[in-house]
Structure 1
Amino acid sequence: MKSISMKVNPLYSDVDLSIVFQFEFTKGDCKVGEAMVSTYSMDNGVTYRKSLLVPAAKVDKCAVIDQFDIIGDLEELCMKKLQHFLKVIGMKEIHAGYELNRKESM
């Protein structure tokens, strides 16, 4: 996974009140693809946690992959990297709202 670099640009969408992440994948100096992911709060997904100081509410969130365009046979590697990032930032569920698009050249 280290041969592919991933640049993340978070954006806020006023339209649907979500955080949208724009991803750019590169291998060396060459861009090999890009992705767009929207994140949303899940209905009835509030979990209350007790911390040492005050009780806190955690809202469960999900991610929807809106766009995923990767060159050649790097799709699986880029998708693993993308899913790992989404799990690290706390996405409980990840859904695909796209059709996989292969690009032979960018």
Structure 2
Amino acid sequence: MMQSISMKVNPLYSDMDMSIQFHFEFSKGDCKVGEAMVSTYAMDNKVTYRKSQVGTQASIEKCAVIDRFDVVGELGEVSMKKLRHFMKVIGMKEVHCGYELNRESVGN
């Protein structure tokens, strides 16, 4: 089922809160079925140090907040899984929901 939903990601930079935001568009075939907006933030200045053959690297732990999530019908669960997987792949330590879930019924 996850393969039947495609996801397009558009990264944006917000000068106002100095964060990177991602706009997601979900489609099934040629039909758009929903979209989401996610903001990323540094987590309380937590820095992780990793040692490698090249030297020591510092990275700041980041989290994501889902600001908006609008997906049609039962496709919301699959779309949310794809979105959360993407956020984990790009290194988000935590993903939080800062939205009210908006799903339209297919029958309406």
> TM-score by structure 2 length?
0.94
User: Hey, which of these two has a bigger chunk of strand by percent?
Assistant: 1
Identity of aligned residues (%): 71
**1:103 and 2:104 aligned:** yes
Deviating beyond 2 angstroms after TM superposition, the runs of 4 or more aligned structure 1 residues are none
**1:23 and 2:24 aligned:** yes
2:16 aligned counterpart, secondary structure: coil
1:49-90 Cα deviation digits (max 9, x unpaired): 111112110110000000000001111000000000000000
Q: Which stretch shows the higher mean deviation, 51-60 or 6-15?
A: 51-60
Runs of 5+ unmatched residues, structure 2: none
CA distance in 2, matches of 1:29, 1:103: 19
Return the offset for 1:103: 2.7
Q: Who is 1:64 aligned against?
A: 65
Q: Which stretch shows the higher mean deviation, 22-31 or 42-51?
A: 42-51
Q: Which stretch shows the higher mean deviation, 95-104 or 84-93?
A: 95-104
Count of matched residue pairs:
105
Runs of 5+ unmatched residues, structure 1: none
CA distance in 2, matches of 1:82, 1:33: 12
